[in-house]
Amino acid sequence: MTIPLAAAVAASVLLLLAAGAKAGRSPWRPLQTVLSSARISSMSVAEVESLLEEIEEAPEAPTVYGAMCYDCAMPPLVTEYLCPACGEKTVYADSDFSRPLQELGITRELFEALEQAAGLDLALDESGFCSFCGSGGVAVPLLVITYSDGTVVRTPVCPEDLRMLIGLFSGERFYESTQDFILPLKPESGHLRSVLGLPGGVEAGSPAD
Ligand SMILES: [Zn+2]
C-alpha cells in the first residue's frame, strides 16, 4: 500500500467537516452507517404517486439560470471511507470512488433536509462503502424508503437526486440545483419514479417511452 494514509485521512475528514460548516450547520454526528428517520407513519405508494402525477400534468416550471462557474479546478481525490459505525478506514485505489466519497458530506446534509420535507420513513444506507462492517466495494449510498404498507425500496442516490426529491416533497414543480440553478421537475419525473420505486420509471429495465 503506497497511499500516504495519514495525509489522506486528514484531507478527507477536513473536507467532510468543511462541507458541514459551509452550510452553516453543525458537523454531522456520525453514529451508524444507516441513518434513519424512524417515523411512526409513512406516506403510501399512492400518495407519492399522486404527487408525481401533479408534476407530470402541470405545466413545466421555467428554468432559472444560476451562476455559471468556469473554474474547473479538479476536486481533491478522496480515496478513503472513514466508517462512522465501526471506525475503520476503507481505502479505495479505484478513482470511481473519489466523487461519491467527496460528496458524502453533502449527501448526508441533503438526506437530513429530505427527511424534514417528506412524510416518509427514510434511511440513508452507506454501509456499502465500508469493507469491515458493510459489504465494501459499493461506490453509491442507497436511499431506503419504507412505504405505509411495508413495501421497502432501496435505490442508489446522488446529491442531485436528493435535491429533486426535496423539491417534489416540498410541493414544488421545480428544485434547487447547484450554483443557484432552479430546474423543472417535470423532465425528471421518469427518473424520480425509478428512485421512488414507482411504476413508469426510466431505469431498471423499463422502456423510456
Ligand atoms: Zn464499518
134 CA to centre of ligand 1 in angstroms? 6
92 CA to centre of ligand 1 in angstroms? 14
Query: What does the pLDDT average to over 65-71?
Result: 75
pLDDT in tens, 141-196: 999 999 999 999 999 999 999 999 999 999 999 999 998 899 999 999 999 999 99
Nine cell digits for residue 94: 479505484
State the pLDDT at residue 20: 38
Phi, psi at residue 144, to the nearest 5°? -110, 120
Closest CA to 178 of 39, 96, 59, 75: 75
13 CA to centre of ligand 1 in angstroms? 16
The Cα–Cα gap between 115 and 112 comes to: 5
Choice between 208 and 61, residue whose per-residue pLDDT is larger: 61
87 CA to centre of ligand 1 in angstroms? 6
State the pLDDT at residue 126: 93
State the pLDDT at residue 187: 96
**Residue 176, SS3 per DSSP:** strand
How many residues can be counted in the chain? Answer: 209
Q: What is the pTM of this model?
A: 0.77
Nine cell digits for residue 44: 403510501
pLDDT bracket for residue 16 (50, 70, 90): very low
Domain ranges of the chain: 32-75+106-196
CA distance readout (Å), 152 to 106, 144, 145, 155: 24, 7, 6, 10
**Is pLDDT at 206 greater than 60 in this prediction?**
no
State the pLDDT at residue 158: 94
Q: How many CA atoms lie within 13 A of 44 on its CB side?
A: 4
State the pLDDT at residue 37: 63
Nine cell digits for residue 22: 459551509
State the pLDDT at residue 19: 39
State the pLDDT at residue 73: 65
16 CA to centre of ligand 1 in angstroms? 17
pLDDT in tens, 19-55: 333 344 444 444 467 777 666 678 999 999 999 999 9
100 CA to centre of ligand 1 in angstroms? 17
CA distance readout (Å), 77 to 83, 91, 99, 101, 112: 18, 12, 8, 9, 25
pLDDT in tens, 80-134: 999 988 999 999 988 888 888 999 999 999 999 999 999 899 999 999 999 998 8
The Cα–Cα gap between 157 and 84 comes to: 19
**Is pLDDT at 9 greater than 80 in this prediction?**
no
141 CA to centre of ligand 1 in angstroms? 14
Q: What residue type is assigned to position 56 of the chain?
A: E
